[in-house]
Amino acid sequence: MSVETIKAEAELYLASLQDQILPLQESYLLANGHYWQGLGTPATTPSDGAVGNPDPNAARSGMPSWSVFGATLPFSAPFAVACDELRRPDGYRGFRIATYFLWDDGSWTGAILYDGSWGTLEWTRVP
């Protein structure tokens, strides 16, 4: 398995999550005044192509888990998944879905931001 293979798998998952999570987040925002945050899972970041098992019961403190929220995680994947909320004092709200994994040349993260519309997927690497 290569980095490009993992990235391609992650991008397929993110594309499916985009479709699924947006209506869920819009409902959650209406009900709670802020977006839902998905704790990064699995806790041990998959490394060098080895697959991990994201935990649908993973939850940030005070937030529903992935499964309770309704977002589907891969059963097994060579990457981890997270969802962050972004907000500013001026009322700005957004959320970002991300996949990330370790490779021998560093840490890779692919993320897409939603703040009224979807941004473009960006991959970054930290050696």
Partner 1 sequence: MTFDPNYGHFQSAQGGGRGFQPAQGAAPPSTLLDGLRWFYKFDTDSTWPDAVSGGSYWTEVSNPTTVTPGVIGLGIDVGTSRNYLDYAYPPTNLLIDPDKSWTQSFWFKPIAGEPTGGSYHRDFAAYEWQMVVGLTKRATGNYLFTTAAGSGGSSWYDLNLSGTAASEYTDGVWGFGVFTYLHKDDNDGTNSIRSVIARVGGTEYTASYSFAGVNYDIYSGAYANGARVGGYPFSYNYDAGSYLDLWGFWDRILTSDERDELYNSGAGKQYPF
Site membership for partner 1, residue 6 (CB under 8 A): no
Instruction: Give the span between the Cα atoms of 121 and 108, in whole angstroms.
Output: 13
Q: What are the beta bridge partners of residue 109? A: 100, 124
Site membership for partner 1, residue 126 (CB under 8 A): yes
**In the structure encoding, which two tokens stand for residue 54, read together?**
């994201």
Q: Which is nearer to partner 1, 67 or 107 (CB)?
A: 107
Least separation in angstroms between CB 102 and partner 1 = 6
Specify whether the CB–CB gap between 86 and 93 falls below 8 A.
yes
* Site map 8..47 versus partner 1, x via CB under 8 A: -----------------------------x-xx----x--
Specify whether the CB–CB gap between 17 and 117 falls below 8 A.
no
Q: Which of 8, 12, 68, 86 binds partner 1 (CB under 8 A)?
A: 86
Least separation in angstroms between CB 79 and partner 1 = 10
Residues that contact partner 1, how many (by CB under 8 A) = 25
Instruction: Give the span between the Cα atoms of 18 and 99, in whole angstroms.
Output: 12
Instruction: Give the span between the Cα atoms of 53 and 104, in whole angstroms.
Output: 20
Least separation in angstroms between CB 37 and partner 1 = 5
Site membership for partner 1, residue 88 (CB under 8 A): yes
